């Protein structure tokens, strides 16, 4: 559907949505503030995490790092530790780098302009729009999956959301229905998309916009949004060695050039003279975005203290134990392996 068929007469849809939001907005801690730092943190936390799953993580993160200064001054490992359980750890690394940017480039004051916010490490167009509209009143739609879904259904618009022009297209489309209060409008779209206009089994009868929804009136809700391009899933095989002795085990920190950046892991190889202690592998399957990961973890229990002391002295691995490992951030499958080892 071409936007030339639409006109400014659609602003009443945004007004109706705002009226619904005033009565039905979710009671969330970051809704009680216009602090750009806290809004920024919440937007990054909930990019890949449902609110009910990530709310405690958000609260704990803000409690430890209440402002840009405290986040910038922290060590990266501690930031990763407080991100533990949220996954996609590159987000935490980028938060820390962006906090340093704000300290260096803006004297510790969060930038106000959309284009400046967009320059922060790890901040995309959606996050920059959300922060600038909610905190500074910029009239910019925070277009994300909720916008694609809601708008494509309202207008029965078959524009392919996998198209490289989708963000620009739906941003323009959002402008037709967005009232002056863009901050509340963006949050209303988030609530509507997550609570009512769901990808599957939407609650159309409860939707405040069902009278304005063309797909609802045509009974074609399930056909929108249109997405034709599928990202190919890659198979990835990893091998680890859980080398341990009397409650202690060896770990190392990953580099930042692949998945699980800067997280801790087990050794990825052992020398031949350690092989006699190898009790065999356990295979774990784990799904990442666009990756099916198969992990073989070999249980290497070194029973000789002399061999253990010699091996740890000759290598640069860190020696930890089950208690101290809680102070490190591991990929979820390795963390689960450690926890299960405690039970064995």
Active-site positions read: 43
Residue tagged 């609802």 (tokens): 216
Whole-angstrom Cα distance, residue 273 to residue 285?
Answer: 29
Q: How large is the greatest C-alpha to C-alpha distance in the chain, in angstroms?
A: 81
Give the other-Cβ count within 10 Å of 9's Cβ: 8
Residues contacting 318, CB < 8 A, separation 6+ = 250, 251, 252, 253, 264
> Which residues lie across from 341 on neighbouring strands?
none
Whole-angstrom Cα distance, residue 161 to residue 152?
Answer: 9
Torsional sign, CA 49, 54, 57, 61: positive
Query: Which tokens is 63 given?
Result: 């409690």
Cis previous bond, 225, omega within 30 = yes
Rounded to a whole number, what is the distance in angstroms from the first to the last CA of the chain?
60
From the number of C-beta atoms within 10 Å of its C-beta (0-12, 13-18, 19+), residue 68 rates as buried
CA distances from 296 to 92, 237, 239, 319 (A): 27, 8, 5, 21
């Amino acid at each position: 559907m071409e936007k030339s068929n639409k006109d400014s007469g659609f602003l009443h849809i945004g007004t109706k949505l705002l009226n619904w939001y005033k009565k039905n907005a979710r009671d969330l801690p970051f809704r009680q503030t216009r602090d750009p730092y806290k809004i920024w943190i919440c937007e990054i936390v909930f990019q890949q995490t449902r609110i009910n799953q990530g709310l405690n993580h958000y609260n704990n993160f803000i409690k430890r790092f209440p402002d840009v200064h405290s986040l910038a001054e922290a060590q990266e490992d501690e930031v990763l530790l407080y991100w533990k359980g949220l996954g996609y750890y590159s987000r935490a690394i980028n938060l820390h780098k962006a906090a340093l940017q704000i300290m260096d480039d803006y004297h510790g004051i969060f930038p106000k302009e959309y284009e400046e916010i967009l320059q922060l490490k790890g901040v995309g167009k959606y996050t920059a729009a959300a922060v600038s509209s909610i905190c500074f009143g910029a009239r910019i739609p925070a277009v994300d999956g909720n916008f694609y879904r809601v708008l494509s259904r309202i207008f029965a618009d078959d524009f392919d959301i996998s198209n490289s022009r989708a963000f620009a297209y739906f941003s323009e489309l959002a402008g037709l229905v967005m009232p002056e209060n863009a901050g509340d409008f963006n949050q209303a779209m988030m609530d509507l998309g997550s609570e009512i206009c769901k990808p599957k089994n939407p609650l159309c009868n409860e939707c405040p916009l069902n009278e304005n929804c063309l797909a609802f009136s045509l009974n074609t809700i399930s056909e929108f949004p249109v997405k034709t391009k599928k990202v190919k899933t890659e198979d990835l095989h990893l091998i680890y060695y859980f080398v341990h002795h009397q409650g202690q085990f060896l770990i190392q920190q990953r580099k930042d050039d692949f998945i699980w950046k800067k997280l801790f892991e087990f050794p990825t190889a052992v020398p031949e003279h350690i092989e006699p202690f190898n009790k065999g592998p356990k295979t774990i399957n784990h799904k990442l975005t666009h990756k099916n990961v198969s992990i073989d973890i070999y249980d290497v229990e070194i029973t000789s203290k002399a061999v253990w002391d010699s091996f740890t002295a000759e290598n640069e691995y860190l020696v930890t134990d089950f208690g101290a490992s809680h102070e490190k951030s591991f990929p979820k499958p390795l963390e689960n392996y450690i926890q299960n080892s405690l039970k064995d």
